[in-house]
Amino acid sequence: MAQGWDFDPSSFAGKVEEDVGKHLRIISMALLTEIVTRSPVDTGQFRANNQVSIGSPDYSELATVDASGAATIQQGSAVIAKGKSFSVIYIQNNLPYAEPLENGHSKQAPTGVYANSFHGVSQAYK
């Protein structure tokens, strides 16, 4: 004779969805922190332009500077906190020299920023 469920299976689906959202935010924060930390600091403008958006890319450029990266991480964290389960979170830098920096045109980041950050975080959360 088959036994019934100890709990409602639909509550499991809600728990999975909740966990997905939590992990999305945790990994996004780790990635943002890694990107900002690895960003070269000359004037601080590149670091300040690591922008976070949800659902669609933000193609704006900021005129601000953030040499420490603290304000950039704080602003990005506020956006990431709004992420729901299965959201697409974008972290990007739209400055004209972002691509050359990613390709190694900086003594402070000779192997780039974004790819290295992604690799490190993806290895940490395997």
94, 77, 63, 90 alpha-carbon torsion, rounded to 10°:
10
Residue 41 structure tokens: 């600091």
> Residue 111: which residues within 8 A CB-CB, separation 6 or more?
104
pTM, 2 dp: 0.89
pLDDT 10s digits, 63-110: 999 999 999 999 999 999 999 999 999 999 999 999 999 999 999 999
pLDDT 10s digits, 94-106: 999 999 999 999 9
Rg of the chain over Cα atoms, rounded to whole angstroms, equals 18
CA gap 81, 61 in Å, rounded: 22
Domain layout of the chain by residue ranges: 12-119
pLDDT range class, residue 9, cuts 50, 70, 90 = confident
